[in-house]
Amino acid sequence: MKFGVIVFPGTNGDFDAYHVIKDVLQQPVDKLWHTVDNLDGYDCVVLPAGFSYGDYLRTGAVARFSPIMGAVEKFAAAGKLVLGICNGFQILLEAGLLPGAMRRNASLQFRNIFVNLRVENNRLPFTSLYREGQVLKMDIAHGEGNYYVDAATLQELEDHNQIVFRYCTPEGEITPAANPNGALMNIAGVCNRRGNVLGLMPHPERSSEGIIGSADGRLVFESILRFWEGRGGNG
């Protein structure tokens, strides 16, 4: 399986994503500069964390127009896997590949802490190795992770099982106190209806080895690999 990690001006999470894929999963992976306009030969692309274009306008708003995003749209339409982490999630929202928008954290402060997540949908290529309802520990590091959709879109997300992760207590309860950024309904990650595009604010790549505090995020990447292998290596 071959991965591509997309790098925009201002990206910094590419190093972590690249490390997990290459050194932890031992899979082929390339870094892809944002001017690349063809993703042929790749099975999964990752839009990693960082501050694309400095976030000066609105997080992800400029990166959305990079040449590679046209290729990402075609890649997703073909059913290939797209994973957006933190800033990558914000870019996918701006590009219309996922529903909703990001607002400033309710605290108006940058939050960099470990949080608990509850798995809401384990029937995706990204989550199949988790149990539904399983509580995970992952890192967050963002100033604009306050996910928002209107009431009609929220109903659609619920009807189509597109809410993938929610912030929760260590016991798995969905409470305001467990919500680190004010996100609507404690939403921490969503997918598209087809299930091949996932965006999440927490960092699975920074939570993939026990030595750095948690290995719970590693199963996101291992689920992707299991999905690909289950399809006979045909993406």
At 235 the pLDDT is: 58
Is residue 68 assigned to a domain?
Answer: yes
Please name which of 32, 39, 49 lies closest in space to residue 90, comparing C-alpha atoms: 49
Is residue 235, in this structure, part of any structural domain at all?
A: no
Residue stretches of the chain with pLDDT short of 70: 234-235
| pLDDT single digits (tens) 46-81 | 999 999 988 777 888 888 999 999 999 999 999 999
Q: Which residues are within 8 A (CB) of 116 and not within 5 positions of it... i.e. 6 or more apart?
A: 135, 136, 137, 167, 168, 169, 170, 172, 178
Q: Is residue 181 part of a domain?
A: yes
pLDDT at 55 (0 to 100): 76
Q: What is the pLDDT of residue 35?
A: 96
Report whether 129 contacts 83 (CB < 8 A): no
| Predicted local distance difference test score (pLDDT) of residue 44 | 98
Work out how many domains the chain is built from and give that number.
Answer: 1
Query: Residue 40 is part of a domain; what is its CATH number?
Result: 3.40.50.880
pLDDT at 234: 67
Catalytic residues: 86, 203, 205
The boundaries of the domain holding residue 49 are 3-230
CA 218 to chain centre: 13
- Under 8 Å between Cβ of 119 and 234: no
Q: What's the confidence (pLDDT) of residue 51? A: 92
- pLDDT (0 to 100) of residue 100: 97
